[in-house]
Structure 1
Amino acid sequence: MNTTRQNNPAMGWITFFLIAAAGLFYVKWLPYYNRAFVAAATHSIGQSILMGKAASPPSPSISAALDYAWVYGKAIWQAMVLGLLLGSAAQALLPVNWVAKALGRTEFGSVAAGGLLSIPGMMCTCCAAPIVVGLRERQASAGGAIAFWLGNTVLNPATLVFMGFVLGWNWSALRLALGLLMVFGLGYLVNRIVTPKEAEEAEARLATLVGNTPTSGAFTRWMRILWRMSVRLVPEYIVLVLLLGAARAWLFPQIDPQIDNHLIWIVALAVAGTIFVIPTAGEVPIIQAMLSLGMGVGPAGALLMTLPPISAPSVAMLARSFPPRVLALVTASVVAFGVIGGLLAVALRF
């Protein structure tokens, strides 16, 4: 039986956007609005989640893993729940072909739409990942989905404001300039490497979805998708966060003036920042603490561009949503942007 339409698609739209608006207001918009006044008054938004007031993270241990996972989990759990709700709701509540119409084209328009839609979200990379999974399940183009994923972090307006008050507006300008290139440039590049065969397969999957989506039971379908998504994504996410929490001391050595503006340190911190996982805006107090300990602006610029956009856990969460070459390209490109950010921070005498 051909069931191309839901009985009442308006209810799906209304429910989805109410969840998005209420959730983002509670989890993101209101807290960040209040934190902006704190940043302006104190030039700080808290301690570094990486190492607190110490000059280096704790030695690798079970305790270090659990301590980091606890602090990190308290910072992001609400946003993760919201991300799972929205990622599953996009598949169950929105009209089946809406995402494909808005984000499914391989032209720049889908990339622009994905990047612009990401700005109100302000999610960390891991909390945005379930939404990206949902978009890809509804045949959003690879480039549009990548732009949405990266834009949540590097174009986050709240983080740019915090950064300006805490680190200086020159750092915000650097982040915004390179962030725009990262989000829209990488999204466009990813769309360019989609093969004709992959495009045909996406069209076939969309046709199958349109032809087989049930006309009723949207709530039951939503809960079923939410459960499957949670079971698949959350366990591997927790394991990787624990491992990274334990390995902090390996990724980030003793922070002191010896970590200068040499290219080796810029590249090393760019790689470490790409792997590690932080909550939204966590890079701001991390960089502030490291600069206060004498670290060069080059490595700081590298972390500015690599800590937020991706991490080992978020890449793992999206391993089934993109071809391996796409995730490899994005990962290598984020490292490259980190190196460019570090070199620019040195050249511009930050």
Structure 2
Amino acid sequence: MPPTDPPGAAPAVPVPTRGPGRAAVAGVALFVLVAAGLLLWSKWLPYAGRVGELRSSHAWSGASVVASAGIEPGSGPSAAAGWAFTRVYFAAVWKALLAGVVIAAAVRTLVPRRWLLGLLQRRRSSSSAVVGGLLSTPSMMCTCCTAPVASALRRSGAPTAGVVAYWLGNPLLNPAVLVFLLLVAPWQWAAVRLLVGVLVVVAGSVLVARLAGERVEADAARVATAAADDPGPRGFPAALARTALLIVPEYLVVVFAVGTFSGWLFPLGESARSWGVLAVLVAVVLGTLLVVPTAGEVPLAQGLATAGFGGAVVGALLVVLPAVSLPSAVMTARALRVRVVLWTLAVVAAGGVLGAVLLPLLTGASS
């Protein structure tokens, strides 16, 4: 009888066994230089400066993306609001989006598939999820800017659990945002974000992989073995152009649509303070669709807390707002498959419910 994988294991993806050559080593080295340079410019240096500012002031400066676009909670659809939201949002994320598109093309062309699969393809989905989550922490991108890289990983044959963990880990396990929260908010906010974030990234990604089924995993095997050779550096310009032409227009259209309906997607005005459990459900469901830049959940959560909303609403938004969004779901649907994306949204919503329960408990226990 042929050997079988242990329970919970992802179906093995055939990995070429050729030893590393000079071209492969050079490609990986070039990838590291490109990725590190882009992240230094778009993320690491700006965040280091932001931490310095917050250490001095201990107060968040700047309004939320919704408020900056002049959108009132509960307001009706407006093309002017959509344009204002798109402009404000794009101004906040364009560097990270550029980095994400370039890194995605580099993943497809500079990193040999056998190296990539050797890193992410593990015998157990939980191990793949842990590796994907760990790989996500240095890039610290928002969910939308992570989407091109997650799609590139999937198209290169990486397993569902590892790709979903990378996609969710970027926004949820962002170490800079955890530091921001510790500097400007009660420590319980950072604790909820970290505890629920780890659970969603690791356990949630494993759950998504299992619910997705073997058919999707088998498709990854076909993708990984579709070409005998990697595209190599010569394929980078074409991969970059293809990624940009597919991702950027689609991204802007969906962000514009979110902005147009953002008054409905974020209806938590002052009158919603009396909604009780309904306010929490609205925060969980609609917070998974609304798009915010990195750390954009901080001013939104602080504004609601100041307006008198309870810890349950704040705890839910600390998880669901950064983790996923409608634009990132649309951008990853082709590579990850719609079923995987829908299960991911459901897992994130469940994490939001857990955050809504956990934050009041922690706050009450320390008071």
TM-score, normalised on structure 1? 0.92
Cα distance change of structure 1 residues 182 and 254 upon mapping to structure 2, 3 Å threshold: closer
Aligned to 1:280: 294
**Correspondence 1:1-350 to 2 at 5 A:** 8-42=23-57, 43-52=59-68, 56-57=72-73, 59-105=76-122, 107=124, 108-193=126-211, 195-209=213-227, 211-213=228-230, 218-253=232-267, 255-256=269-270, 258-260=272-274, 262-349=276-363
CA deviations over 1:41-95 (Å, ceiling 9, x no partner)? 2211421111149793465322211111111101101100110111111111111
Distance in 2 of aligned mates of 1:143 and 1:161: 27
Aligned AA (2:247): L
Q: Residue 281 of structure 1 aligns to a residue in which SS?
A: coil
Give the conservation status (yes or no) of the 8 Å contact 2:151–2:336: no
Cα 1:55–1:160 change in 2 (3 A) is: same
- CA distance 1:26–1:59, shift in 2 (3 Å): same
Q: For residues 92 and 344 of structure 1, do their structure 2 counterparts lie closer, same or farther at Cα, with a shift above 3 Å needed?
A: same
Counterpart of 2:72, as a letter, is: S
Give unpaired runs (5+ residues) of structure 1: none
Deviation at 1:194, TM superposition (A): 5.1
Q: Report how many residues are paired.
A: 344
**Counterpart amino acid of 1:288?**
Q
Once the two structures are superposed, residues 266-308 of structure 1 have per-residue CA deviations (whole angstroms, 9 ceiling, x without a partner) of 0111111100001000000111112222222211111111000
Indicate if the aligned counterparts of 1:38 and 1:45 stay in contact, CA closer than 8 A. Answer: no
SS at match of 1:97: helix
CA distance in 2, matches of 1:263, 1:68: 28
Counterpart position of 2:10: none
What's the secondary structure of 1:307's corresponding residue? helix
RMSD: 2.2
Does the 8 Å CA contact 1:135/1:145 hold for their aligned counterparts?
yes
Shift of 1:324: 2.4
Name stretches of at least 5 consecutive residues in structure 2 with no aligned partner.
1-15
Shift in alpha-carbon separation, 1:196–1:319, aligned structure 2, 3 A: closer
Where 2:333 maps in the other structure, the secondary structure is coil
CA distance in 2, matches of 1:187, 1:41: 37
Task: State the alpha-carbon separation in 2 of the partners of residues 12 and 276 from structure 1.
Answer: 37
Q: 1:295 to 1:199 in 2, by over 3 A?
A: closer
Distance 1:156 1:341 in 2: 17
- Give CA-to-partner distance per residue, 1:131-151, whole Å, 9 cap, x none: 011111111100000000000
Determine if contact 1:106/1:143 at 8 Å carries over to the other structure: no
* Cα distance, 1:220–1:44 mapped onto 2, change above 3 Å: same
Residues 216-235 of structure 1, C-alpha deviation per residue, up to 9 Å, x if partnerless?
xx343111111111111221
Distance 2:225 2:362 in 1: 52
Mapped to 1, the partners of 2:348 and 2:311 lie a distance apart of 18
Closer/same/farther in 2, CA of residues 52 and 296 from structure 1, 3 Å limit: farther
Determine the C-alpha separation between the residues in 2 that align with 1:64 and 1:348: 37
Q: SS where residue 50 of structure 1 aligns?
A: helix
Q: Is contact 1:93–1:222 with CA below 8 Å preserved after alignment?
A: yes
